[in-house]
Amino acid sequence: MAGDPLPDEEIALRLVELPGWERDGDTITRTFAIRYHGGVAMIVNVADVQRLIGHHADIDLRWDHVRFRITTHDAGHRLTTADFDLAARIDRIATAHEAQPHNS
């Protein structure tokens, strides 16, 4: 169940509650500074949560950072409540792995 796409006003309000996440079209993104092997461990934890909730981010791992991009494919690649729930979960996992905000 994908949920309905959110209106722009609600997306803006939800982004205020998730500092560090930015809207990029119909996705939200965030990049965390973390060394490669720490990034791999963080991704494994995120993947476990994603499997349990049935919602997945696109993940880009580099030697010094990890970038997450989230949208709801089943809602026509639009933003839904599920995207912001996953973003909050990713933030908690990143904190547990001591990942820092990345200056792109």
The per-residue pLDDT string of the chain (104 residues; one tens digit each, 9 = 90 and over) reads 468 999 999 999 999 999 999 999 999 999 999 999 999 999 999 999 999 999 999 999 999 999 999 999 999 999 999 999 999 999 999 999 999 999 86
Phi, psi of 8 (to 5 degrees): -55, -40
> Quick one: pLDDT at residue 25?
96
Which residues in 48-81 are b (16+ Cβ under 10 Å) and which e? eebeeeebebebeeeeebbbbebbbeebeebbbe
Do the domain assignments include residue 30? yes
Residue 40 lies in a domain: yes
Domain contains 65: yes
Q: For residue 84, what pLDDT is reported?
A: 98
75: in domain? yes
Determine the structural domain holding residue 73 and report its residue range.
8-101
Give the pLDDT confidence score for residue 1 in this predicted structure.
Answer: 44
